[in-house]
Amino acid sequence: MRRDEIDQYMDILNFDEYELRSRLEFFEITDDDFRCLAGLRDFASKYTEEIVEKLYELILGHPETRTFFPDAETVERVKRKQTEYFMKLFRENIDLDYIRDRLRIGFVHEKIGMPPKWYLGAYRRYLQLITDRLIEEYRDRPDLAEQYVRSIEKIIFFEMAVSIDTYIAAHVETVTRHKEAIRELSTPVIKVHDRVLLLPVIGTVDTHRAQQIMETVLLEIVEEQAKVMIIDIAGVAVVDTRVADHLIRTTKAIRFLGAEAILTGISPNVARTVVQLGVDIGEIQTTNRLADGIELALHEIGKAITPKNQEKHLEKARQQERPGEKR
């Protein structure tokens, strides 16, 4: 995960100094807790390997979580990372650089498709293993063990919150990207000719999709400096009052940009339905066939479709009219 990606998620989560202080206060993590954690570094060094091994006994022993670790090399790599993560829990303070480092956890889990239920379960195991070792290590000082356990609980839950927030932010970003890809696929604008565009509409047109169609059409007209937009609705299953209204609104918006709209794919059923509904589409140029719509669009920009044999005859006639040509 690159630094700019980390900073992006810091911005999404509004994670600044104020947010950090606010969270530390809410989780009741005090300077005394940090002193306790820093004082446990020798304990952490002593039990890190054992705790990490037992954590991965749980993870690798479950059929669903085991699938995230396809080979021994991956397991060894994540164990090393986990050891680094564990040791960083025992520190004297938390700053924004520490948060940036922790953001990677939720980000990576979302990218590999590991749902929160599994790493929350792993955190629970983590906390249990640390608590068991603390109680055993300080069995002669139960009051001190209890104090250490409270500090560990606070920092673990703090870490969980950061990881979940990052996971949610990364997941929302992924979903947004997917929606954008689907949007582009559902409203594909095709360049037919210079300054002539075509939008084939297939499937159901609801309010949300109609808005997408209008936004896409207007954006493409501006970018391509188009003079004509052909909207082909041959693939629209049902044309009712709502769909017709969306089409009228879109064509009006097209004209506001100085372009013309041509509606093609008008079947007899669609024509009959529009008439029965009393929808006025008289201002819209319509054709039954897409080919006719393209021909009409080319005429609007001063172009025409000429059959090849006719083109040859025209070229021959032009050559005959040139002065100095032999007859």
User: pTM here?
Assistant: 0.61
Write out pLDDT tens, residues 167-211.
888 877 777 776 666 565 567 888 999 999 999 988 888 777 888
State which amino acid sits at residue 242. R
Is the pLDDT score of 40 beyond 90?
Answer: yes
Asked if 192 contacts 297 with a C-beta cutoff of 8 angstroms, the reply is yes
> Once rounded to an integer, what is the mean pLDDT over residues 238-261?
87
pLDDT of residue 196: 94
Alpha-carbon span 168 to 170, nearest angstrom:
5
Alpha-carbon span 81 to 75, nearest angstrom:
10
Share of the chain above pLDDT 70, in %: 90
Angle at CA 57, nearest 5°, toward 52 and 61?
A: 150
Extended strands (E) in the chain = 190-193, 196-202, 228-235, 260-264, 285-286
pLDDT band for position 327 (cuts 50, 70, 90):
very low
Walk me through the domains of the chain, giving residue ranges and CATH numbers: 3-184 (1.10.490.10), 190-316 (3.30.750.24)
Q: Which of 86, 98, 108, 85 is nearest to 167 (CA)?
A: 108
pLDDT of residue 186: 61
